[in-house]
Amino acid sequence: MVEMTYREALRQALADAMTENPDIILLGEEVGRYGGAYGVTRDLIKEFGAHRVIDTPISEAAIVGAAVGAAMTGLRPVAELMYVDFIGMTMDQLANQAAKIRYMFGGQIGVPMVLRTQGGTGRSAGAQHSQSLEAYVMHTPGLRLAMPATVADAYHLLRQAMTCPDPVVFIEHKALYTMKEDVDLAAEPLPWGKAAVRRAGDDLVIVTYSRQVHHAMAAAATLAAQGIEATVIDLRTLNPLDFDTIRPFVERAGRAMVVSEGVMTAGVGAELSARITEECFDFLHDPVVRVAGEDIPISVSPALEAGSVPGPALIAETALRMLA
Amino acid sequence: MTPPFPTGSNSDLGRLYRTMRRVRSFEERVGELFVRGQSAGSMLHLSIGEESAAVGVCAAMKPQDTFTTHHRGHGIFLARGADPNRMMAEIGGKEAGYCHGKGGSMHIADMGLGHLGANAIVGGGIPAVVGAGLSARHKGNGAVSVAFFGDGATGQGILYESMNMAALWKLPVLFCCINNQYGMGTRIDNATANTALHERALAFGLAAETVDGLDVEAVAEAARRLVDGARAGRPAFLAVDCYRFFGHARKDKSPYRDPAEEDEGRMKDPVAHARARLIDTGMTAAALDAMDGEIDAEMDATIDFTIAQTEPPLASMFRDVYAPTEPEPEPVRARIARVLART
Ligand SMILES: Cc1ncc(C[n+]2csc(CCOP(=O)(O)OP(=O)(O)O)c2C)c(N)n1
Ligand SMILES: [Mg+2]
């Protein structure tokens, strides 16, 4: 076991994969000399050279488009989008090109690329640097979507993403980079596409991902002190979505809450809630409850920012209401 | 008090110096607000070293003109006549700020002063001036719209789409590129093959120049020429060459820059240059010191003002998502309570 941060685990995943596969290249703004806006690619340019760790102009659409072309011609590009908030600028290349090329061209070729980015609140970064936009990606058939919550998953999911035959959007959480964990990177990871049961309990099921896994675990600890046992499921990947892991827990508990930092309306929680309702209807005592970000932009004011997204208190409070 | 709109008639060197000095002093206080833990976050981009661009171009603008800025826009807004207290309060995320603490440093705006908004998306504010140009033409109000952006934004395709439209439709628009040689840690020659940025604008049929930002009078002169031309239907591009004195944002210490390069870059100081010129023309150092002291005292007060202000009330987060006549979004808590009350 070694102690490392989420940031270090991501870096390690990139370094290990680049050592194994000479066709992996990194490209993005500030990924080289600067080492990445959040430090994930620090010094990789020294290890692998400027022809594999490529600093680009501030041209998001062309960065993603170039990754598409590189992936179609034999490289394994890992592009970095500094903030998920800039995904709009890349959306044509991502949604109309990367996502559809295999299908439109009748299966002739895939686009094995990874788009690494980060999202979420926690740094008073304001309305255009704090969003959780995973629903944009999840709404696009053809794109895979991974969102690691733990240090071990930061490593393993990124390694797995770099072997995926299809385009993967990999969204890190900016508030997790300094989180530390003891990890054994040699241990066999969960397979790609499998959700993790972080905690099991029979009273209710909390389905979540990314940073909210930690908030859900904190809430579950509070609830346990009051005699309520919650299951916490960390989805790890939103596409593929592992419903098989969710189903038996919901059938047993009869109550489910879905938690996401992104806004509630038409968000990931809406999809999860619909799936659970459709597939576990006969087992449910209550409607599936969505705990999510408010349907508003994120303010720079730290007070308003914190108030805009769920935390352990709202999750615990909601669970108590459900079980009242 | 500086008049709210430092228009052409005020563009003598003394006034240009005074406004640049106010910008510098304000920016230094923004840094201090951060150090004192009173800023909303650390994404604070100081325009120290770039004062001549803000001040020279704003001096060429008229009251009816509009503009957008990039993320390093404090100086531009101040040069346009912003209230430094309300600016600092916004940077502190306080209710008394220009945007009630919702926007912060990177999203400050004031329609009263024609500020259509600062932007945290590189290039995000550029196309709005094309629309403002269409408005001005439609309404015949003689307004020019200026897009301020950094050299890094020349990597964005939207700049070229916007320049083409402005040229095609002969709109009253100025594209002002503040070329401080860096986009974050990337020096311009690592991001751009042809660093003569105005040549791109020439290719689109715009009037285009590059001016040395060391000399605020030269910037003001070039800006007057191009803004007047834009008003007459000749859209233009002005690159102001300068140097980003400090890190990209408040925490960045620029480890990627050679200290010798930084020393040389900081010699290109438009404030010191204007001061030396004023002394050459007969102003005494004592008179300038007195002016500086007054400015520093005014800017010191912005910190005390900001610290004394309140946070926006929590319920205000639901305000202004839609027009005030529309219902506010329902809070998540309320929705959950409503759903569970039925079961
Ligand atoms: C679309 C987009 N891409 C990347 C960023 C991250 N970013 C913020 S400022 C910046 C550098 C901008 O450089 P420049 O335009 O020269 O402005 P300067 O900071 O030098 O004033 C970058 C890459 C962003 N905010 N928006
Ligand atoms: Mg720059």
Residues A170 and B146: their CA atoms lie apart, in Å, by: 37
Residues B101 and B91: their CA atoms lie apart, in Å, by: 8
* pLDDT at residue B9, as a whole number: 37
Ligand nearest to the backbone CA of A57: 1
Residues B209 and B176: their CA atoms lie apart, in Å, by: 10
Residue with structure tokens 């408005």? Answer: B135
Query: Does B1 have pLDDT greater than 90?
Result: no
A132–chain B nearest CA distance, Å:
16
pLDDT per position as a tens digit, B284-306: 999 999 999 999 999 999 999 99
pLDDT per position as a tens digit, B299-339: 999 999 999 999 999 999 999 999 999 999 999 999 999 99
pLDDT per position as a tens digit, B238-255: 999 999 999 999 999 999
* DSSP labels, A234-277: E-SEEES--HHHHHHHHHHH--EEEEEEEESTTSHHHHHHHHHH
In a domain, B132, yes or no: yes
Among A82, A87, A117, A128, residue to substitute to test ligand 1 (most atoms within 8 Å of Cβ): A82
- Cα–Cα nearest to A170, from A269, A80, A36, A74: A80
Residues B239 and A197: their CA atoms lie apart, in Å, by: 56
Residues B136 and B144: their CA atoms lie apart, in Å, by: 7
Among B50, B69, B122, residue to substitute to test ligand 1 (most atoms within 8 Å of Cβ): B122
Query: For residue A313, what is the nearest residue in chain B, using CA coordinates?
Result: B333
Mean of pLDDT over chain B: 96
Q: What is the Cα gyration radius of chain A?
A: 19
Would you mind telling me the total number of residues written for chain A in this entry? 324
* pTM reported for the whole predicted model: 0.97
Tell me the two tokens of residue B61.
């603008």
The residues facing B209 across adjacent strands are B238
CB contact under 8 A, A321 and B157: no
Across residues A278-288, what is the average pLDDT?
Answer: 97
- What ipTM does the predicted assembly reach? 0.96
CB contact under 8 A, B93 and A86: no
CB contact under 8 A, B106 and A314: no
- CB atoms closer than 10 angstroms to residue A179: 18
Known active-site residue A60: yes
In a domain, B335, yes or no: yes
Residues B261 and B181: their CA atoms lie apart, in Å, by: 11
Q: Which domains, and CATH codes, for chain A?
A: 2-183 (3.40.50.970), 196-323 (3.40.50.920)
A239 Cβ contact list (under 8 Å, min separation 6): A137, A138, A143, A144, A145
Query: Does B8 have pLDDT greater than 70?
Result: no
In a domain, B199, yes or no: yes
Question: CATH number, domain at B21?
Answer: 3.40.50.970
* pLDDT at residue B4, as a whole number: 43
In a domain, B2, yes or no: no
A321–chain B nearest CA distance, Å:
7
* pLDDT at residue A287, as a whole number: 96
pLDDT per position as a tens digit, A212-265: 999 999 999 999 999 999 999 999 999 999 999 999 999 999 999 999 999 999
Q: A8, A29, A80, A129: which is the annotated catalytic residue?
A: A129
pLDDT per position as a tens digit, B195-206: 999 999 999 999
* Whether A301 contacts A204, CB under 8 Å: no
Long-range contacts of B325-333 (CB under 8 A, 24+ apart): B329/A294, B329/A295, B329/A296, B330/A295, B331/A294, B332/A264, B332/A290, B332/A291, B332/A292, B332/A293, B332/A294, B332/A310, B332/A314, B333/A314, B333/A317
Q: A60, A134, A172, A305: which is the annotated catalytic residue?
A: A60
In chain A, pLDDT over 70 holds for what percent of residues?
100
Would you mind telling me the total number of residues written for chain B in this entry? 343
A276 Cβ contact list (under 8 Å, min separation 6): A207, A246, A250, A256, A258, A284, A288
Tell me the two tokens of residue B81.
């006549």
A197–chain B nearest CA distance, Å:
25
* CA A124 / ligand 2 centre spacing (Å): 23
* CA A62 / ligand 2 centre spacing (Å): 20
Q: Considering CB atoms only, which of A129, A295, A314 is closest to B333?
A: A314
Mean of pLDDT over chain A: 98
Tell me the two tokens of residue A316.
């615990």
pLDDT per position as a tens digit, A291-310: 999 999 999 999 999 999 99
Residues of A in contact with B311 (CB under 8 A): 301-304
Strands (DSSP E) along chain A, which ranges?
Answer: 2-5, 24-28, 53-55, 76-81, 114-119, 144-146, 168-173, 180-183, 196-199, 204-208, 230-234, 237-239, 256-263, 289-293
CB contact under 8 A, A86 and B121: yes
Q: Residues lining ligand 1, judged by CB closer than 6 Å?
A: A 29, 58, 60, 82, 86, 89; B 45, 70-72, 120-122, 150-153, 180, 182-184, 244, 248
pLDDT per position as a tens digit, B43-102: 999 999 999 999 999 999 999 999 999 999 999 999 999 999 999 999 999 999 999 999
pLDDT per position as a tens digit, B113-172: 999 999 999 999 999 999 999 999 999 999 999 999 999 999 999 999 999 999 999 999
Residues of A in contact with B312 (CB under 8 A): 299, 301, 303-304
* pLDDT at residue A258, as a whole number: 98
Q: Which atom of ligand 1 is nearest to the CA of B151?
A: 16
In a domain, B1, yes or no: no
Residues of B in contact with A287 (CB under 8 A): 339-340, 343
In a domain, B222, yes or no: yes
Residues B71 and B125: their CA atoms lie apart, in Å, by: 10
Query: For residue B119, what is the nearest residue in chain A, using CA coordinates?
Result: A128
Ligand nearest to the backbone CA of A82: 1
Query: Does B3 have pLDDT greater than 70?
Result: no
Residues A7 and B35: their CA atoms lie apart, in Å, by: 26
DSSP state of B110: B
Query: For residue A83, what is the nearest residue in chain B, using CA coordinates?
Result: B121
* pLDDT at residue B342, as a whole number: 75
Residues of B in contact with A286 (CB under 8 A): 340, 343
- Cα–Cα nearest to B10, from B20, B27, B231: B20
Residues of A in contact with B41 (CB under 8 A): 123-126, 300, 302
Residue with structure tokens 């009051």? Answer: A226
Parent domain of B54: 11-342
Q: Is A278 left (phi over 0), alpha (psi -120 to 50) or beta?
A: alpha
Mutation for testing the A interface, residue in B88, B332, B340, B342 having most A CBs under 10 Å: B332
Known active-site residue A139: no
Q: How many domains does chain B have?
A: 1
Give the helix/strand (H/E) hosting B296: helix B285-308
Q: Is A267 exposed, middle or buried (0-12, 13-18, 19+ CB in 10 A)?
A: buried
A286 Cβ contact list (under 8 Å, min separation 6): A254, A255, A322, B340, B343
* CA B220 / ligand 1 centre spacing (Å): 25
* CA B210 / ligand 2 centre spacing (Å): 15
In a domain, B55, yes or no: yes
Query: How does residue B11 score in pLDDT terms, banded at 50, 70 and 90?
Result: low
Query: For residue B320, what is the nearest residue in chain A, using CA coordinates?
Result: A296
Mapped onto helix, strand or coil, the DSSP state of residue B81 is coil
pLDDT per position as a tens digit, A80-126: 999 999 999 999 999 999 999 999 999 999 999 999 999 999 999 99
Q: Which atom of ligand 1 is nearest to the CA of B50?
A: 21
Q: Considering CB atoms only, which of B42, B120, B332 is closest to A291?
A: B332
Mutation for testing the A interface, residue in B34, B71, B186 having most A CBs under 10 Å: B186
In a domain, B152, yes or no: yes
The residues facing B211 across adjacent strands are B240
